[in-house]
Structure 1
Amino acid sequence: MTTLKRVATMCAVLMAVSALNFAEAEECKLNQPPEGYTALFNGKDLTGWKGLVGNPKTRAKMSPEELAKAQKKADQEMRDHWNIVDGVIVFDGKGKSLCTAKDYKNFDLLVDWKIKKDGDSGIYLRGSPQVQIWDPAVKAANGVGSGGLYNNKKNPDKPLLTADNPVGEWNTFRIKMVGEKVSVWLNGKLVVDDTTLENYWERDKPIYETGQIELQNHGNTLYFRNVFIKELD
């Protein structure tokens, strides 16, 4: 082997090692919360999560025994369709939404998400729909990007701008909710500015004071990671 070839081989080896070290470093950061935040997803299993039972209005009408029975069934269905693959929550497109076991009031939420072509999903706040996730090219979107408060009727429901990354790439939400007001940043850009989230389940009432956070399904494959929350006073 000539000296030139040996040097080239050595450079290739060093580059490969550097790339491996970088990948390992990035993997170590996955699902590790920033300072001040708590991880809702531990990167290994669905501890702290549960299956969906009805909605806030129907759950409130259930007796403790009825709710416990329904929750047991919902948890089994959840485990059949929501799985962990390489530190990522993966939904297979069947079943119902994935819900936090704990209810939240005021919070600052960070979450990475990814969809496939024509994907359609969302994030429920306090059990109510929703911060929209979808492929802007899907028919229902009509070119509008993700992040809007889709089910609002009286208050703005569309994002201020389209900030989605191309379908198949990761996106990052920051969602801040205080009282009835919600602000949303998508990939670092403000798309919802201190807007009232309406009560979808009971239109004559304001949004519930507390409730679970839900990763909504809409019949397609979904991916979530780096789910962090900071509870606010």
Structure 2
Amino acid sequence: MTRFNLLFVLFCCISQLSPAGELDPQQHQWHARYIKQPNAPQPEKMLLNTDAEPDLTKGFTSLFNGKDLQGWTPKGGTCTFEVQDGLLVGKCVPGSNSTYLCTDQADFSDFVFTCDMKWRVDGNSGVMFRSRAKPGKNDTVTVFGPQFEMEGFSQDRHWSGGIYGQSCGGYFYPLWLKEHKAARAATKEGKWNRVTISAQGNVVKTWINGVPASHWIDDGSYPRGFFGLQIHKGDKGTVLWKNVRVRRLEP
């Protein structure tokens, strides 16, 4: 390889990892609230997802059979999950801890995951990935790891599509940049919303309804684990899921 070609390759690599940019002025209150979390990134050091959503038509395996909860186990709390008319339905139980319907398979490493999600009753939710569980307080189980945030419509920050570190230090990738404006506007109230996650090596990217959202570099703490559908603790919330699928990637 000539010196010119080597420099060109290095330039391309650096360009792909170039910092994103600038905090959105409308997000200052949320930045002030969350910047002190252990995981919180400095806005000027965040990377942008500029990729098109992966092809979702071929090579996928369904994780939900449309009939029952075979292959899934609830963990963490007593919020309920059931199958209604071919849909997964999660419902908040007041007084319960956050509850996660988790895949029994826990070896998902490199993959493209997708599902469709809709709120019947507004409430915080999300999709855990590469996640794990550990003993919690009072004989409970704590699910922890990265989560594709799906926060509902009760707040004006609009971070659905961001990546939250559930029970492990707060937001890895909040959607607080000017460049996240399209992602913050992508979630549709009262309609189905498509969640897409690509994880390959330490690079994780997300899309919400096909709009690029997060570009997070894991430090190696979460190389593999299970998927989990969250019903967050609170007074209310009913969430529907369908088309829950995964395509494993070669490392």
TM-score computed with the length of structure 2 as normaliser: 0.59
Aligned mates of 1:87, 1:153 — CA distance in 2:
33
Aligned mates of 1:192, 1:35 — CA distance in 2:
23
Alpha-carbon deviation of 1:51? 2.0
Which has a greater percent of strand? 2
Aligned mates of 2:189, 2:240 — CA distance in 1:
12
Q: Return closer, same or farther for 1:179/1:93 CA change in 2, 3 Å cut-off.
A: same
Cα deviation, 1:131-155, whole Å, max 9, x if unaligned, reads 10012x423xx33231001337685
Aligned mates of 1:49, 1:34 — CA distance in 2:
24
Runs of 4+ in 1 over 6 A off after TM superposition: none
Matched residue count = 166
Secondary structure of the equivalent of 1:207?
coil
TM-score computed with the length of structure 1 as normaliser: 0.64
Secondary structure of the equivalent of 1:150?
strand
Aligned counterpart, 2:150: 133
One-letter amino acid of the structure 2 residue matched with residue 38 of structure 1: T
* 2:232 maps to 1:218: yes
Identity %: 30
Q: How does 1:1-233 map to 2 (within 5 A)?
A: 34-52=57-75, 81-94=80-93, 96-103=99-106, 104-116=108-120, 118-127=122-131, 128-135=145-152, 137-139=153-155, 142-151=156-165, 156-158=173-175, 160=180, 161-193=183-215, 195-197=216-218, 206-219=220-233, 220-233=237-250
User: Larger Cα Rg: Structure 1 or Structure 2?
Assistant: 1
> What 5-or-longer segments of structure 1 have no aligned partner?
1-32, 54-73, 199-205
> What 5-or-longer segments of structure 2 have no aligned partner?
1-55, 132-144
Alpha-carbon deviation of 1:181? 1.9
Aligned mates of 1:43, 1:184 — CA distance in 2:
25
The 8 Å contact of residues 149 and 197 in structure 1, kept in 2 or not, is answered as no
